[in-house]
Chains A and B, each alone.
Chain A
Amino acid sequence: MPEPGPPYRPGRRVLRGWGRTAPTAADVVLPADEARVAELLADPPPGTGVVPRGLGRSYGDAAQCAGGTVVDLAQLDWVGGIDEATGEVEVGAGASLQRLLEHALPRGWFLPVTPGTRLVTVGGAVAADVHGKNHHRDGSFARHVTALTLATPNGVRHLVPGRRGRGAAKAEDDALFWATAGGMGLTGVVTRATVRLLPVETDRMLVDTDRYDDLGAVMAAMESGDDGYRYSVAWVDCTATGRHTGRAVLTRGDHARREDLPARRREGLPRAPGTSRLRIPRPGPRHLLNPLTVAAFNELWFRHAPRHRVAEVLPLAGFFHPLDGVADWNLLYGERGFLQYQFVVADGDVVARAIDQLAANRVPSFLAVLKRFGPGTPGPLSFPTPGWTLALDVPMGPPALGALLDRIDEMVAEAGGRVYLAKDARLRPDLVRTMYPRLDELQHVRRRVDPAGVLRSDLSRRLGLDLDRKEP
Chain B
Amino acid sequence: MLDAFGQPQSLVVLGGTSDIARAVVHALAPKRLATVVLAGRNEERLAEAAAGAKAAGVDHVPTVAFDAGQVDRAAAVVDECFAAAGGDVDVVVLAVGVLSRRELELDPERTAEVVTTGFAWPAAALTAVAARMKAQGHGRIVVLSSVAGVRVRRANFVYGATKAGLDGFAVGLGEALRGTGVAVQVVRPGFVRTRMTAGMSEAPMATTAEAVAEAVVAGLASGAPVIWVPGTLRWAFAVFRLLPPSVWRRLPG
Contacts and interface: CB of A to CB of B under 8 A. Distances in A.
Contacts, number: 83
Contact of A399 (B5, B136, B181): B5
A402 B7 contact: yes
Contact of B31 (A12, A68, A398, A399): A399
A67 B135 contact: yes
A129 B32 CA distance: 28
A19 B182 CA distance: 18
B168 to A, nearest CB: 24
B5 A426 contact: yes
Nearest to B217: A399
A24 interface: yes
B218 A24 contact: no
Contact of B3 (A12, A24, A68, A425): A425
Given A25-B181, A399-B31, A428-B32, A462 B3 contact: yes
A22 interface: yes
Given A22-B1, A60-B4, A396-B4, A67 B137 contact: yes
A217 B4 CA distance: 35
A14 B1 contact: no
Band of interface residues on B = 20 to 34
Interface string B93-121: 00000000000000000000000000000
A324 interface: no
A337 B179 CA distance: 17
Contacts of A14: 179-181
B137 A399 contact: no
Contacts of A24: 1, 137-138, 181
Interface residues of A, number: 33
Contact of A336 (B2, B137, B217, B223): B223
A144 to B, nearest CB: 32
B1 A461 contact: yes
Interface in A298-340: 335-337, 339
B220 to A, nearest CB: 8
Contacts of A427: 3
B2 A22 contact: yes
A25 B137 contact: yes
Nearest to B1: A462
A48 B137 contact: yes
B56 interface: no
A67 B181 CA distance: 9
B4 A66 contact: no
Contacts of A458: 1, 138
B138 A426 contact: no
A66 B137 contact: yes
A339 B1 contact: no
Given A336-B223, A429-B32, A22 B137 contact: no
A47 to B, nearest CB: 8
B4 A339 contact: yes
B88 interface: yes
Contact of B7 (A67, A396, A399): A399
A462 B8 CA distance: 10
In this complex, the member of B6, B32, B135, B137 whose beta carbon has the largest number of chain A beta carbons within 10 angstroms is B137
A420 B179 CA distance: 29
A61 interface: yes
B221 interface: yes
B138 A396 contact: no
A61 B1 contact: yes
A26 interface: yes
Interface string B1-17: 11111110100000000
Contacts of B9: 429, 462
B157 to A, nearest CB: 36
Contacts of B88: 66-67, 461
14 contacts: A19-B4, A25-B182, A26-B137, A66-B137, A335-B223, A396-B5, A399-B218, A399-B221, A402-B221, A426-B4, A428-B32, A429-B9, A461-B1, A462-B3
